[in-house]
Amino acid sequence: MRKGLMRGCLVAFLLLAQQAVAGTVLVVGDSISAALGLDTSQGWVALLEQRLRKEGLERKVVNASISGDTSAGGLARLPALLGEHRPEVVILELGGNDGLRGQPPAQLQQNLASMIDDAQKQGARVLLLGMRLPPNYGARYTRDFAQVYQTLADGKNVALVPFFLDGVGGVPGMMQADGIHPAATAQAKLLDNLWPTLKPLL
């Protein structure tokens, strides 16, 4: 009886230890990460789960992305997400909707900075996915917008993918009919764009 109890305690301890080692990757993004227009199983976040298993990296992936979300929306949602999931890594993929709405880059920077601060206070490592806007928004605005991500990466000492849609945005066959959202064929490329920067954080 006593041996059985000890064995049961040992199994429980090992299960808890395994759960502690297997951290959580939290993705907070907009429609690009929510796989708008696609089956979610086709999206880059689902592909990330597959890549982690293939690499033998035991991680839980939580996709908290909402189509149409802005940096302000992400900032409002993040504290509850951090409290619930206690992530090891937080991937921030936000800003595109701020830019499309012509919101001030300074406000985007402030919101993302607060999100980074909140995540780091919880002990999470942050990966920031940079965005860019099409040239029709004006040279100054597009430049200031893109600079937000580099400024944050430098100032907050966080990992950065300078342009998440590199090799996807504006490339024939890689975008859906709306010209805004990546097609299914682009999802593997999106994952490849961030993987070399994400892997060292795990």
Q: Which residues are catalytic?
A: 31, 178, 181
Contact (CB, 8 A) for 148 and 142: no
CA-CA distance, 178 to 146, in Å (whole number)? 22
Strands 159-161 and 24-29 turn out to be: unpaired
Q: Take residue 179 and report the two structure tokens written for it.
A: 């010209």
SS3 125: strand
Backbone angles phi, psi at 123, to 5 degrees: 90, 10
Question: Residue 156's closest CA among 115, 105, 103?
Answer: 115
Residue 133 CB-density burial (10 A; 0-12 exposed, 13-18 middle, 19+ buried): buried
Q: Which residue has the tokens 């990966």?
A: 127
DSSP letters for 41-80: GGSHHHHHHHHHHHTT---EEEE---TT--HHHHHHHHHH
